[in-house]
Structure 1
Amino acid sequence: MTAPIQLTPALTAVTAPGNAADRVVKRRRILDILDHSGRDSLLLTSNTALTWYLDGSRVHISLAGDPIAALLVDRSGDHLVTFNNEAGRIEAEELPEGVNLHSIPWHGQLHASAAGLAVDGNPLLEAAVAGELRAARQQLLPAETARYAELSVDAAAAMTDVLTGATPETTEFQLVSELAARIVAVGAEPLVLLCNGAARSAFRHPLATHAPIGRRAMAVVCARRRGLVANVTRWVAFDAGTPQELDAEARIAAVEADIFRATVPGAKLNEVFAEIQDAYVRHGFGPEQWTLHHQGGPAGYAGRDPRVTADVADRMVLNQPFTWNPSGPGVKIEDTVLLTDSGLRVLTTDDRWPTTEVDGRRRPITLRP
């Protein structure tokens, strides 16, 4: 491994991610984990952990691949290890102030090289403190909150732009390609793009096809920028809708309202999960509906961090983001929200989208261009 790379003035024209005040808090959170574990170093290797700790640095090339960097946090500082063919870009555009950059050959062993920087060569691994790291990410800091809100607005606006221009003849692939273009245009990465037209409304994770969307369609976007992921689902229709569809839309919004009421500081995620199960029954979807699709959970630096189940007992905290996504046959509702001291704040909003009031909150309804 080479010596730490020194920043050069010629490579600092692009402002790197990283809010200094937020990063101080994050480092303190990691040191607290080390103190509690009785260890002196921690190796971060997942995209979720790296982008959180580095405050939004892009540490990927392929969206489907592993990170091209690993980070050793010890009591002396932060040490980011990457391959020699990535080091120049990382140095110039992605390295927060105060992080030491180390380069290894492109064919080298990334994790082993980063671990080798530890004094004893045996750092604590992510898997050993997965719950502690998740807790460290729960509460967004001020700069994170601001950029998450901006991303969420951009994602919602992309939905409005694309679905307003759709027609029954628009194919699913055409619709998601236009969504992808708008997400990329605002500097984000489309991690998930889904669409089902009228003929495929039974599918809850509908990858796009060449089929026209027809009289009614659902679109889903999960967009990532500077590590944070905003999630949103919207519907478009070209007729008034059947009585059954309108009834189901109202009932799934009522399920969501029950979930929102249960999303309060101090409550456990598995308690919310139990409320979700009961809400489906209360609103006429039956006791098995929750088994047909995941229900969402905390959001932030992962699409769900984690998905809520009966086994997840994390307690919710202020300034924690969530994306709940209750669904039923032919219906689904999903937005990214933030738990604040004045209640839930919906982040993925666009004033151009039609809404209705549900339990005192404006919620999206089906767009009819």
Structure 2
Amino acid sequence: MAHRNDATPDRSSKIDRIRGILSDLGAPAVHLTTAASLAWLLDGPRTAVPLGGAPVFSATVTADGSVTITALANEIERLRDEELAGELLWREIPWYGDLASPPGDAVAEADVAARLRAARADLLPSEIERYRALGADTARAMSAALKAAEPGWTERQLAGYLAESAYGIGAEPAVLLVAGASRGSVQHPIPTDAPLGDRAMAVITTVRDGLHVSATRWVTFADHERFADTEARLREVEADILDATVPGSSFGAVFDELRAAYARHGFGDDAWTRHHQGGPTGYLGRDPKVTPGFDDTIGAHHAVAWNPWVPGAKLEDTVLVTADGVEVLSLDPEWPSTTVRGRIRPLPLART
């Protein structure tokens, strides 16, 4: 990302989308303040200093298509040199200044949040190519970490290896979760000093060019058969969800299907209530998590990451919605797999 000189061709298309929103509203400008919108518009810069922290700049886009960056004084030089490129106007404020307040009569991002989310969701061809590359790189990085893991490692050790692998592909880790054998029923296993033991789950979300790829994988060091039935039934739940994830459907309809799928495959009517199920992704890990009542329409060229979960089993990959069905982006062809309804799906890596 360092020393970028030119904006990507994507930016003019994205500015046009914003201008369309402003025209519909009759507004002169919009003030962007979230990491998702800033990364989307400006070719994937790293918007924050702490990982996952608040952005250290904002952007005002006018109806004529100009973009003014408001940056903190202690960040502006680095942003100009390393993160932001192209034809931009710059406004410097003190390091303690206010990035959030819209200048003049610009509307706040929160006032057009749904419209901007829809604009981000419709991925351009060049974004899709970047997404495919990040998905493949992330899958290989995850594989390398789990092929190196040992049952005596702690969860923190594996998380550290995963973080190193993420940086090794030019990405940053947004999520790193690890569950050893003693914590396989924890929904969000933030790593501890517990040993991996005979079975472990690893979860990663990588970020590169602003795009997020999420994946979950399992590794076993002993007899795996005691979990095989649960995992097979959860793969059927996932298959039902992916079958329903088609252009023109709504996330509400998919959510209804996933709730029914848990019961259909023997997990009970309330299994879906025990963990969030994922949702649209792209310039956020989940943009947003799908909840009852969220009814946005799914489109071709949208990215989605579902994560069906039951105690002791979880599946997760990042997929691209297409007219021909979902394309799984985060697959490593060298990882052990099975085929479910024509899709390659990962199995646990057996290290016995």
Q: TM-score, normalised by structure 1?
A: 0.92
Shift of 1:15: 2.3
Shift of 1:17: 6.9
Matches within 5 A, 1:37-186: 37-76=25-64, 77-112=66-101, 115-116=102-103, 121-186=104-169
The residue aligned with 1:237 is 220
AA at the equivalent of 2:54: D
AA at the equivalent of 2:20: D
Shift of 1:13: 8.1
Matches within 5 A, 1:298-309: 298-309=280-291
SS at match of 1:30: helix
Shift of 1:78: 0.6
The question of whether the paired residues in 2 share the 8 Å contact of 1:16 and 1:94 is answered with no
Shift of 1:96: 2.7
Task: Give structure 1 stretches of 5+ with no counterpart.
Answer: 1-11
> 2:156, 2:139 → 1: CA distance?
19
The change in CA–CA distance for 1:301 and 1:148 in structure 2 (over 3 A counts) is same
AA at the equivalent of 1:255: V
Shift of 1:108: 2.2
SS at match of 1:302: coil
The change in CA–CA distance for 1:194 and 1:13 in structure 2 (over 3 A counts) is closer
Summarize deviations over 1:117-169 as a string: whole Å, max 9, x none: xxxx1211111111111110111111111111111111111111011111211
The question of whether the paired residues in 2 share the 8 Å contact of 1:17 and 1:55 is answered with no
Identity rate, percent: 45
Task: Give structure 2 stretches of 5+ with no counterpart.
Answer: none
> 2:288, 2:75 → 1: CA distance?
30
Summarize deviations over 1:63-104 as a string: whole Å, max 9, x none: 242100010000240101101221111111222312212222
The change in CA–CA distance for 1:207 and 1:13 in structure 2 (over 3 A counts) is closer
The question of whether the paired residues in 1 share the 8 Å contact of 2:27 and 2:63 is answered with no
> 1:223, 1:64 → 2: CA distance?
12
The residue aligned with 1:25 is 13
The question of whether the paired residues in 2 share the 8 Å contact of 1:326 and 1:332 is answered with yes
> 1:201, 1:344 → 2: CA distance?
28
Pairing partner for 1:246 from 199, 210, 228: 228
Runs of 4+ in 1 over 3 A off after TM superposition: none
Shift of 1:110: 2.3
> 1:93, 1:175 → 2: CA distance?
31
The residue aligned with 2:295 is 313
Greater Cα offset, 200-209 or 56-65 = 56-65
> Number of residues paired by the alignment?
350
> 2:218, 2:68 → 1: CA distance?
45
Q: Is residue 312 of structure 2 the alignment partner of residue 324 of structure 1? A: no
> 2:157, 2:24 → 1: CA distance?
51
The question of whether the paired residues in 1 share the 8 Å contact of 2:138 and 2:169 is answered with no
The question of whether the paired residues in 1 share the 8 Å contact of 2:4 and 2:84 is answered with no
The change in CA–CA distance for 1:13 and 1:194 in structure 2 (over 3 A counts) is closer
The residue aligned with 1:9 is none
The question of whether the paired residues in 1 share the 8 Å contact of 2:74 and 2:95 is answered with yes
The residue aligned with 2:256 is 274
Pairing partner for 1:194 from 165, 177, 194: 177
The RMSD of aligned alpha carbons is 1.4
Greater Cα offset, 89-98 or 323-332 = 89-98
SS at match of 1:32: helix
Greater Cα offset, 269-278 or 134-143 = 134-143
Shift of 1:249: 0.5
SS at match of 1:85: coil
